A and B are shown apart, each in its own frame.
Chain A
Amino acid sequence: MKIHNTRGGRIFDAANYVFLTAIGVITLLPFVYVFAGSFANEAEITRRAFFVWPEQFSFASYEYIFSTPSFVRALVTTVLVTAVGTVVQLIFTVTMAYPLAKRNLRGRQLILSLVVFAMVFSGGMIPTFLLVKELGLLNSYWALILPAAINPFSLIIIKNFFQELPAELEESAKMDGATEVGILWRIILPLSKPVLATFALFYAVGIWNDFMSPLLYLSDNSKWTLQMYLRQVTAASDLLGTGDVDPNYIPPAQGIKFAVIVVATLPILLFYPFLQKHFAKGMLIGSVKG
């Protein structure tokens, strides 16, 4: 479209471009600072109020955290819980979505209504906590995975995707004597790889970033995940009114905080190109349905 641009319009455009560029840079600044700081030595961090490039590169902060057993344990725990949790949550979601995609299955409408109802209403923090406690899952990593095993939004989007796959594929497989499970495994899942990858990412980010579940369900600090560790490292002890930090606690050096933040952020940034592409699409699908 050709737009006749007036002088005022050109000034607006220039101002807008400068402003938006500034917004983009400001959004990124906290990160650049932390990233640069994680490679600087403690003296430089103390001396320079703000910098985006260290004068002297130092890996001391990383050497320190990777030789700290509690950090390494939290990191390994988080990687494992995220990996296992993503697989478990994806299995739960896919096995439920597939039968619900069959229009002639009896009871399907009832189950779908109950799923939608659960999207709107929930028991809340305390009843869910008591349930997890009753099930004996306190201080178990399953408490970080099972209560969120199926995201109702993801379930419905995957179900809709299965529904739209051509029915002929299944019919021909049935003629060859394949069972429903065989069809799901050999025909449906290979066709759904991009969709499943998207929701796997969705679940993985959810578990990796989760702070509330470990806070509620893991009181044993030898089981803490990275987010809990990060919380303990970066919150100055005198500011905590929650009593979860010991009074003799000495705040770690700044560089160590920087390095822990970088490690906790890195996986998200590595997957960011995929996240941006697929989540934006997912958000729009969700809004169209809603």
Chain B
Amino acid sequence: MAAPVIETKAGERVAPVAPAPRKRRGLAVHLAHYKWLYLLLLPGVLYFAVFRYAPMYGVVIAFKDYVPFLGINESPWVGFQHFQDFFANPDFGRLLGNTLILAFLNLGIAFPLTIVLALLLNEVRLSILKRTVQTLVYIPHFLSWTIVASLSFLLFALDIGPMFHFINGLLGTDIDFLSDPAWFRPLIILQEIWKNTGWGTIIFLAALAGVDQDQYEAAIIDGAGRFRRVWHITLPGIRSTIIVMLILAIGQMLNTGFEQIYLMTNALNRGVADVFDTYVYFVGITQGAYSYSTAVGLFKSLVGIVLIFGTNWVAKRFNQSGLF
């Protein structure tokens, strides 16, 4: 009871001093003057309130036992119960392992390949060849994951896919790429490389264009060959870009791309295919465990935030320019 009284008292004491009425009239005049602008702003503000901020509020169901007919507010609180259940669940270790393995394969294979491709393109002095190759390798970026998955199903299909025939002719063995769990990760990485490596070079090519050309001439005079110039001038020249892209990639590590993984998941490879994103879908949407799956999603987001700030901190510790 004490708090409101103090507030009222403070309000009464402050009110006569502050030029509140004039300020309020100023705001009213401002609003009236710009009424059209505020009206234009309205749909956008409503969009952010409803479709961006309401779901953020909806995250509270991770700490509740959400019952649809009670609604978010009336559902009972359960504290960290869902998080405890998740950590105790054997699924947790499997999901974490699968997610991290895919993330490291991406960081260890797809990420360096992007830089290598950019370096190779940068060495091309025949501009027609450079532009043609760029045009070709950018195409897959614009295709949906559904198309990428469909192409994979056709190319790698058991008995009929061209890749099946190719490997069969080469090694004499039949490989069931699509349902053998051992081939799930290689296929995912292959898709990622095919779809995004070319497009990823854009940023690095822009950075490469900014490397000081005089340094190359000096290095040539000093007798440095092609590879030594790349090693001592080109790579240090784009180091900050590489670090920024690496921080971004690590921050996105747990976002394994729901569509891609979901489309390649089947009954036989679930053991290696399940990652946080698809688990949230299977448990939340298809099984209706809304609160539990929201807790899983929230856990994943929090780890993602820690990762991005953590990498940024490490990058700064090593005297590199961080992201922020």
Contact = CB atoms under 8 A, between A and B. Distances in A.
B149 interface: yes
Contacts of B1: none
Contacts of A230: 146-147, 150
Contacts of A114: 48, 53
B40 A254 contact: no
B17 interface: no
A91 B120 CA distance: 42
Contact of B44 (A9, A96, A287): A96
Contacts of A99: 34, 37-38, 40-41
Interface residues on B, range: 35 or more
A241 B286 CA distance: 12
B160 A46 contact: yes
A284 to B, nearest CB: 6
B171 interface: no
Contacts of B48: 114-115, 118, 150
Contacts of A227: 144, 146
A118 B43 contact: no
B117 A122 contact: no
A136 B56 CA distance: 19
B226 A268 contact: no
Contacts of B262: 215
Nearest to B295: A126
Nearest to B162: A50
Given A121-B56, A227-B144, A261 B150 contact: yes
Contacts, number: 276
Contacts of B203: 283-284, 287
Contact of B266 (A31, A135, A216, A241): A241
Indicate the member of B58, B144, B153, B294 with the most A CB atoms within 10 Å. Answer: B144
Contacts of B298: 124
A interface secondary structure, majority: helix
A106 B26 CA distance: 11
A30 B266 contact: no
Interface of B: 27, 30, 34, 36-38, 40-41, 43-45, 47-48, 50-59, 61, 66, 72, 117, 120-121, 123-126, 129, 132-133, 135-140, 142-147, 149-151, 153-155, 157, 160, 162, 165-166, 178-179, 194, 198-199, 202-203, 206, 213, 216-217, 220, 225-226, 244, 258-259, 262-263, 265-268, 270, 277, 280-282, 284-286, 290, 293-294, 297-298, 301, 305, 323
Given A126-B284, A211-B263, A276-B138, 18 more contacts: A93-B44, A122-B52, A123-B55, A124-B59, A127-B59, A127-B294, A128-B51, A150-B48, A180-B36, A209-B145, A233-B150, A235-B263, A239-B179, A241-B267, A261-B151, A269-B139, A272-B142, A287-B203
23 contacts: A1-B217, A3-B220, A9-B225, A9-B226, A23-B117, A23-B136, A28-B139, A49-B162, A92-B44, A96-B45, A99-B41, A118-B48, A122-B55, A123-B56, A124-B301, A125-B277, A126-B294, A146-B47, A149-B47, A211-B145, A261-B147, A280-B138, A284-B202
In order of increasing CB-CB distance, the 6 nearest A-B pairs are: A123-B55, A96-B44, A127-B58, A241-B267, A209-B144, A234-B150
